[in-house]
Structures are given as C-alpha cells and as structure tokens.
C-alpha cells in the first residue's frame, strides 16, 4: 500500500511538471491590479477563451522585438458556454462567451534560470506554470514549452502581435 501511494504521488508530481514548473514560475498574486489586460481571445484548442495580462516590463519592452528579462504574462483560461447542440456560443466578434474560470497559466521570462529547471521544459528564456483559480499549482498533462518553442520569431508568445498594439 505504501508503494502504491508513493507511485500515485509521483504521478501527480509529474503531471504538474509536464505543464510547467511552479517551483520556478510563481503565481503573481496581484496580477489583476498591477498587470495590463491586453487581449481576450479564443484559445487555439477552440474550446476555451482567455484573458491575457502583461506586467509593466513586458508591455514596456514589447516593441523591442523581444520582451525583456522579468516579463510576466498571465492567461486566465475560461470554460465556454455551449448551446443545446454542444456548439460554443460566440459574441459578434467571434469570441466565445465565458462560462467560468478553469485555470490560470503563467509565463515568465528570465535571461538566467536555475540549472535545475531544464531548458527542455522552457521555450527560449520563457518558463511556464499552471495554477487553479485560487493560485494553487494545478496538474497539467500539456507540455507548454513544446507548443511555444516554434514561435521564436514572436518571442515564443501566441499573443505577441496583440501585445504590440497595446
């Protein structure tokens, strides 16, 4: 029984790590009041909608081609409303209607990371972590860095062009 519990704990820890690393990328408690909201958009999975926030370092350096060391982006991930046919309900701009906050993703850029945080788990100098709606680490089976790595021309950020316009 003890072995099983240990294996279960290991599986949960691995799931948290797969979507980022909350040991290195911390939850910014005051992001709602201190960061700038710069985009609301449907996520690429076509199942969720996101509100995205950036700290002053990110907004101040966005037009320089790459965001500066210390940039932090926060993405509130929302479930979406569906109609009777399970089709997502969108507004006149095509943005899905929110049905409830599901998770909060954090990206942080550092020029130097602790060597314990493997470069394979990052995209460029960006680290990732996923939190629940209360700011506690949330298990995640996605490998965030893998989706962001191909976006090197836009500093590994899906919403980079929207950040440039704010």
Buried b (16+ CB within 10 A) or exposed e, 115-132: eebeeebbbbbbbbbbbe
Q: For the chain, how many helices (H) and strands (E)? A: 5, 5
What is the number of structural domains in the chain? 1
Q: What is the CATH number of the domain that holds 80?
A: 3.50.70
Domain range spanning residue 14? 2-164
Which whole number is the average pLDDT over 81-109? 96
Q: Indicate the range of 3-7, 73-77, 104-108 predicted with least confidence.
A: 3-7
Contact 27, 134 (CB under 8 A): no
Percent of the chain past pLDDT 90, that is, above it, reads 75
pLDDT greater at residue 141 or residue 102: 102
**Residue 36 and residue 30: Cα distance in Å, rounded?**
11
- 119-154 pLDDT per residue, tens: 989 999 999 999 999 999 998 777 889 999 999 999
Alpha carbon 139 to its chain's center = 13
**Neighbour count for residue 51 (Cβ, 10 Å):** 18
């Amino acid at each position: 029984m003890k072995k099983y519990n240990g294996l279960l704990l290991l599986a949960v820890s691995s799931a948290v790590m797969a979507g980022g690393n909350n040991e290195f990328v911390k939850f910014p408690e005051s992001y709602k009041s201190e960061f700038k909201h710069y985009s609301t958009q449907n996520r690429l999975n076509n199942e969720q909608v996101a509100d995205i926030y950036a700290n002053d370092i990110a907004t101040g350096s966005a037009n320089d081609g790459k965001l500066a060391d210390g940039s932090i982006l926060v993405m509130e991930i929302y479930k979406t409303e569906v109609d009777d046919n399970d089709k997502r309900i969108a507004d006149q701009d095509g943005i899905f209607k929110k049905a409830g906050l599901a998770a909060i993703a954090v990206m942080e850029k550092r020029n130097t990371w602790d060597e314990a945080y493997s470069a394979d788990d990052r995209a460029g100098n960006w680290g990732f972590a996923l939190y629940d709606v209360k700011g506690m680490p949330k298990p995640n089976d996605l490998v965030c860095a893998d989706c962001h790595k191909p976006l090197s021309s836009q500093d590994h950020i899906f919403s980079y062009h929207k950040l440039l316009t704010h």
